[in-house]
A and B are shown apart, each in its own frame.
Chain A
Amino acid sequence: MGLEIKFFSLLKLELKESGVEYDLDGLTTIEDLIARLDQDYEGIFSEKLLEDGQIKMGTIILVNGTNVLHLDKLETEVSEDDEVSIFPPSGGG
């Protein structure tokens, strides 16, 4: 098993995919993950999620349900069997 990545909101609608599974293969942090996703999806991930190299206000990246902002932000480590959920800035109520 590798890393399970789930896309939501505009990412899901624009990419017409609900996610992807990656082998870790040298990939250790969320930052690496975004770089890898950017390669595979024409840069859309850093465009939607980041601003000046940081996580944009309102972006939600969860590792097993915990927001990476409460872990190590972009340096948060990921490991085998983790589930990462990604949402571009969203709100409602």
Chain B
Amino acid sequence: MAKLNEGLMLRVNLTNQEVTEEEISKELIKEYLGGRGLASKILYDEIDPKVDPLSPDNKLIFATGLLTGTSASTGGRYMVVTKGPLTGTIASSNSGGFFGAELKFTGYDLIILEGKADSPVYLSIVDGQVELKDATDVWGKTVPETTDYLQQQVGDEKAKVSCIGPAGENQVLFAAIMNEKNRAAGRTGVGAVMGSKNLKAVVVRANEKKVEYDKQALIEVVKKHTKILKEDGVTGEGLPALGTKVLDNIINENGIYPTRNFQEGTFADVAEVSGEALVEKGYLKSNKACYACPISCGRDTKLPNGRSGEGPEYESGWSFGADCGVNDLNAITEANFMCNELGLDTISAGATIAAAMELYEKDYIEQEELEDGPELKFGSSEAIVYYTKAMAYREGFGDQLAEGSYRLAENKGYLEASMSVKKQELPAYDPRGVQGQGLNYATSNRGGCHVRGYMISPEVLGVPEKLDPQELKGKPEWVKIFQDLTAVIDSIGMCLFTSFALQAEDYRDLVNVAAGFDLSVEELLAAGDRIYNLERLFNLDAGIDPQEDTLPKRLLEEPLPDGPHQGSVAKLDQLLPNYYTERGWDEEGIPTAEKLTELNLK
């Protein structure tokens, strides 16, 4: 039995097939909590941040959060931490479903995978037995095929499978790792690292739940939280009914719905592709919950042609929809299904196609280069479906798309077309109309991302209070707190969506009761600050220049042409210096010695 304040790590050397167990110190757990935090610390201590991300010298960590596998609401998440091939920064990608809890039940808090296997293998941890097994038969197979096959191989349909699809095998720089077929550790290209190691899957199944905590005491706290989550308008009503796609109309009406590769901020055809349309057209079949989740934001969908799957989520629907100028919900959903089956990050996949469409329409890509593929025109349903497949298999022009929008645009001599930060594609909010979110994009440690500090919540949704999206004052402080709290929520293994209703005090109560800690809210947030700074140190050592804390030129210089924020640009230059000060970093964006000492990072 493993107590939550103790940790056990499984070390798997894929080169020589050696498997060992190691204890994780209690001090480290108290300082870094688990998941993203703890895994980042271990990665930073064990690899040279300058390694080639796709070489055997990189390591890949599957980590459960501190509370993963307990009864804490949404406490089922796991994270994959490594050096990312898309950005060259530390990469950390988070997924829900049931795999994380099952991994925790095996008694291992995290798995560290090193080296590279000679031929395709999968890691099986079933009923206490750890084995590396031959995966030659499933190499080349899609995510659902691999999942079904491996469950059969281990003889247990309840076994949970986390695997890559063809995109990961082909080292597409934004390949995802998928669990239970449709849940994704989507961003930053963690799937490509797994592919580079010849590791097809990790399969877990525990015959007893090796996790020990005061169940009675925790249940009391959880009951209180469940009530809050059920009664809250967002987590109790909005998310269950419409999922994340409720945002299409909200973001569009606010004029920050990036359209045709961020050339405009509103999409005239939004009614055709919104969350409401998904329900009205009858594509939505039911909602779906992850482990211990009272919210159920997931969507099971079915197209008129009988194809079924999960999604699209807001960001996925947007990247293939408005960002590509496509108003065909059927094609968007199909492209989303394909990303899940082939193992691609939906945001980067759609946004890279959008960048390619702009490049094509501006004559930076010649028609001959597309070989037999359809023209890359904004609005083309055919193109989004065709090139999604082509990039996963690196076929024809898909091979160039597989490198992501930054390398593509750079290669074609028109970098402006890549709407990315630190080479990762931006998600679905135009920062010209939400200044805090722009600051968050620019300072996210894993490159362009919305879930490192979701400023849309206060700046657009009004939760926990409504901030003026164009106001600059106070935003650096907000961004820092959101980033730190998010690092905590990730590291304890809960879903970020709980933070629409729960407060920092609520997370502290869970952590203290379950792990027997005695942390104050300040100490808990300090752990988030520590994690954020550690990731920053990794990036600095990896050679990421703080000058890269920026936004694409278009967003800084070209005013939004339409909508309620018409005429505004992202005012990052006015926010960044204050953000650095707030973080305890010097003018160059380097953490000061005092700050590092304060956080015990020296």
Q: Which of B30-38, B57-65, B153-161, B453-461 is the interface stretch? A: B453-461
* In the complex, per-residue mask of B562-589: 1 if CB is within 8 Å of any chain A CB, else 0: 0111000000000000000000000000
Q: Which of B237, B462, B496 has the most CB atoms of chain A within a 10 A radius of its CB?
A: B462
A57 to B462, CA, bound (A): 6
A93 — which chain B residues lie within 8 A by C-beta?
244, 247, 314-315, 450-451, 454, 456-457, 496-497
Q: Which of A24-32, A36-44, A63-71, A74-82 is the interface stretch? A: A63-71
Counting CB contacts under 8 A, is A9 at the interface? Answer: yes
Whether the pair A87, B249 counts as a contact (CB closer than 8 A) is: yes
Known A-B contacts A8-B250, A60-B461; the reply to A13 vs B241 at CB < 8 A is: yes
One of A9, A48, A58 near B462 (C-beta < 8 A) = A58
Whether the pair B466, A91 counts as a contact (CB closer than 8 A) is: no
A38 to B571, CA, bound (A): 41
| A interface residue count range (under 10 / 10 to 19 / 20 to 34 / 35 or more) | 20 to 34
Known A-B contacts A13-B279, A93-B497; the reply to A69 vs B466 at CB < 8 A is: yes
Counting CB contacts under 8 A, is A62 at the interface? Answer: yes
The B190-239 residues at the A interface (CB cut-off 8 A) are 232-235, 237-239
Known A-B contacts A9-B249, A90-B250, A93-B496; the reply to A58 vs B463 at CB < 8 A is: yes
* In the complex, per-residue mask of A31-61: 1 if CB is within 8 Å of any chain B CB, else 0: 0000000000000000010000000111110
A59 — which chain B residues lie within 8 A by C-beta?
233, 462
Counting CB contacts under 8 A, is B478 at the interface? Answer: no
B239 — which chain A residues lie within 8 A by C-beta?
91-92
A53 to B379, CA, bound (A): 44
A60 — which chain B residues lie within 8 A by C-beta?
250, 460-462
Q: How far, in Å, is A45 (CB) from chain B's closest CB?
A: 14
Counting CB contacts under 8 A, is B500 at the interface? Answer: yes
A88 — which chain B residues lie within 8 A by C-beta?
233, 237-238
Whether the pair B314, A69 counts as a contact (CB closer than 8 A) is: no
One of A13, A18, A69, A87 near B250 (C-beta < 8 A) = A87
Counting CB contacts under 8 A, is B243 at the interface? Answer: yes
One of B276, B463, B465, B564 near A91 (C-beta < 8 A) = B463
* In the complex, per-residue mask of B259-300: 1 if CB is within 8 Å of any chain A CB, else 0: 000000000000100011001100000000000000001000
Q: Which of A58, A70, A89, A93 has the most CB atoms of chain B within a 10 A radius of its CB?
A: A93
One of A9, A13, A62, A91 near B254 (C-beta < 8 A) = A62
Name A87's closest neighbour in chain B (CB-CB). Answer: B250
Name A62's closest neighbour in chain B (CB-CB). Answer: B253
Whether the pair A58, B233 counts as a contact (CB closer than 8 A) is: yes
Whether the pair B276, A9 counts as a contact (CB closer than 8 A) is: yes
Name A73's closest neighbour in chain B (CB-CB). Answer: B466
Counting CB contacts under 8 A, is B185 at the interface? Answer: no
Name A69's closest neighbour in chain B (CB-CB). Answer: B466
Whether the pair A69, B462 counts as a contact (CB closer than 8 A) is: yes
Name A56's closest neighbour in chain B (CB-CB). Answer: B233
A67 — which chain B residues lie within 8 A by C-beta?
254, 462, 466
Name B279's closest neighbour in chain A (CB-CB). Answer: A13
Whether the pair B314, A65 counts as a contact (CB closer than 8 A) is: no
B247 — which chain A residues lie within 8 A by C-beta?
90-93
Q: How far, in Å, is B482 (CB) from chain A's closest CB?
A: 12
Counting CB contacts under 8 A, is B302 at the interface? Answer: no
Name A92's closest neighbour in chain B (CB-CB). Answer: B244
Whether the pair B237, A8 counts as a contact (CB closer than 8 A) is: no
A57 to B249, CA, bound (A): 18
Q: How far, in Å, is A47 (CB) from chain B's closest CB?
A: 11
Counting CB contacts under 8 A, is B521 at the interface? Answer: no
Counting CB contacts under 8 A, is B242 at the interface? Answer: yes
Q: How far, in Å, is B496 (CB) from chain A's closest CB?
A: 7
Known A-B contacts A8-B250, A90-B238, A90-B242; the reply to A66 vs B279 at CB < 8 A is: no
Whether the pair B314, A91 counts as a contact (CB closer than 8 A) is: no
A59 to B450, CA, bound (A): 21
* In the complex, per-residue mask of B310-328: 1 if CB is within 8 Å of any chain A CB, else 0: 0001110000000000000
B244 — which chain A residues lie within 8 A by C-beta?
92-93
A34 to B122, CA, bound (A): 59
A69 — which chain B residues lie within 8 A by C-beta?
462, 466
Name A91's closest neighbour in chain B (CB-CB). Answer: B234
B232 — which chain A residues lie within 8 A by C-beta?
58, 89
Whether the pair B235, A91 counts as a contact (CB closer than 8 A) is: yes
Counting CB contacts under 8 A, is B42 at the interface? Answer: no
Q: How far, in Å, is B89 (CB) from chain A's closest CB?
A: 21
Counting CB contacts under 8 A, is B464 at the interface? Answer: yes
A74 to B53, CA, bound (A): 54
Name B315's closest neighbour in chain A (CB-CB). Answer: A93
Whether the pair A13, B461 counts as a contact (CB closer than 8 A) is: no
One of A6, A65, A70 near B468 (C-beta < 8 A) = A70
Whether the pair B564, A58 counts as a contact (CB closer than 8 A) is: no
Whether the pair B254, A92 counts as a contact (CB closer than 8 A) is: no
* In the complex, per-residue mask of A6-18: 1 if CB is within 8 Å of any chain B CB, else 0: 1011101100001
Q: Which of A6, A56, A67 has the most CB atoms of chain B within a 10 A radius of its CB?
A: A67
Known A-B contacts A85-B253, A93-B456; the reply to A57 vs B314 at CB < 8 A is: no
Enumerate chain A interface residues (CB-CB to B < 8 A).
6, 8-10, 12-13, 18, 48, 56-60, 62, 64-67, 69-70, 85, 87-93
Enumerate chain B interface residues (CB-CB to A < 8 A).
232-235, 237-239, 241-247, 249-250, 253-255, 271, 275-276, 279-280, 297, 313-315, 450-451, 454, 456-457, 460-466, 468, 496-497, 500, 563-565
11 A-B contacts (beta carbon < 8 Å): A9-B249, A10-B242, A67-B462, A67-B466, A88-B238, A89-B238, A91-B234, A91-B235, A91-B239, A92-B247, A92-B313
- 3 nearest A-B pairs in the assembled complex, by CB-CB distance: A89-B233, A65-B564, A92-B244
